[in-house]
């Protein structure tokens, strides 16, 4: 994508970058989905594209399901605001009860090809390595149905995660960043179900204080149709987003 190919929806961002925010997911958005989280790396050109936005826009933030320090180390761009665990980090969510970890461990033992990731503030059970992902998902949904009070199971790409219930997640992180920055225009880009919460928060902020927003879906083989249908623009995989970010930096400089 080039400067001249930017859709009209991006005009408010380009016209007033000093009062505009760029909000990005990481896995599946700035980095391709891989078999295990520790194998992830930013897509070619992603670091440079994000760095090119930092001195132009009011705020550039990465809102991830990973712990904050993990995503900071992976992207490694100075001047970016990093919010981990869907924005839950620092909100009193770092003490996962033993019963939650025990439930995840028991579910993983019962379903072949699954494994547990303890994030500190949440616990995820991955089934990407299962020989029967569809069957593994159904079995995990059953095994994790009786979640201890105060927690709930949310779905992502071939993962079920036990997270604190009734707390703002990606939507709350979006609200925090935009309120603190005072931005009047925002773009959010993501690739999964959790990013629908961010899209919905942009809608609410539009109603409350006339925030102008652009919603970008980063499409891949596992991107839910609900996300692409709610987006103002769809780009193909992280390389498509990298091209968009470069065009935004060029247009706004």
Domains of the chain (ranges plus CATH)?
A: 3-89+168-252 (3.40.50.1000), 98-164 (3.30.70.1020)
What is the distance between the alpha carbons of residues 32 and 145, in angstroms, rounded to a whole number?
A: 30
Using CA atoms, how far apart are residues 138 and 183, in angstroms rounded to an integer?
Answer: 42
CB of 158 within 8 A of CB of 133?
yes
pLDDT digits 0-9 by tens, 185-226? 999 999 999 999 999 999 999 999 999 999 999 999 999 999
pTM of the model: 0.92
pLDDT, tens digit, 9 for 90 and up, residues 34-91: 999 899 999 999 999 999 999 999 999 999 989 999 999 999 999 999 999 887 775 5
CA distance 249 to 238: 17
Q: What is the pLDDT of residues 85-102, one digit of tens each?
A: 887 775 554 678 999 999
């Amino acid at each position: 994508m080039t400067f001249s190919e930017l859709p009209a929806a991006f005009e408010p961002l380009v016209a007033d970058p000093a009062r505009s925010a760029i909000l990005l997911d990481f896995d599946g958005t700035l980095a391709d989905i891989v078999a295990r989280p520790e194998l992830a790396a930013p897509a070619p050109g992603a670091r440079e594209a994000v760095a090119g936005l930092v001195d132009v826009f009011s705020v550039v933030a990465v809102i991830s399901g990973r712990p904050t320090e993990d995503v900071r180390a992976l992207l490694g761009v100075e001047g970016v605001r990093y919010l981990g665990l869907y924005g839950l980090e620092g909100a009193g969510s770092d003490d996962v009860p033993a019963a939650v970890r025990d439930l995840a461990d028991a579910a993983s033992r019962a379903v072949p090809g699954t494994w547990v990731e303890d994030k500190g503030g949440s616990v995820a059970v991955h089934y990407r390595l299962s020989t029967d992902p569809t069957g593994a998902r159904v079995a995990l949904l059953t095994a994790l149905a009786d979640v201890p009070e105060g927690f709930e199971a949310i779905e992502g790409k071939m993962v079920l995660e036990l997270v604190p219930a009734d707390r703002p997640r990606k939507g709350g992180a979006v609200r925090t960043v935009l309120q603190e920055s005072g931005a009047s225009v925002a773009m959010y880009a993501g690739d999964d179900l959790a990013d629908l919460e961010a899209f919905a928060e942009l809608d609410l902020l539009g109603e409350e204080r006339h925030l102008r927003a652009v919603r970008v879906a980063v499409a891949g083989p596992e991107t839910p149709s609900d996300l692409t249908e709610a987006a103002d623009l769809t780009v193909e995989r992280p390389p498509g987003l990298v091209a968009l970010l470069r065009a935004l930096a060029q247009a706004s400089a």
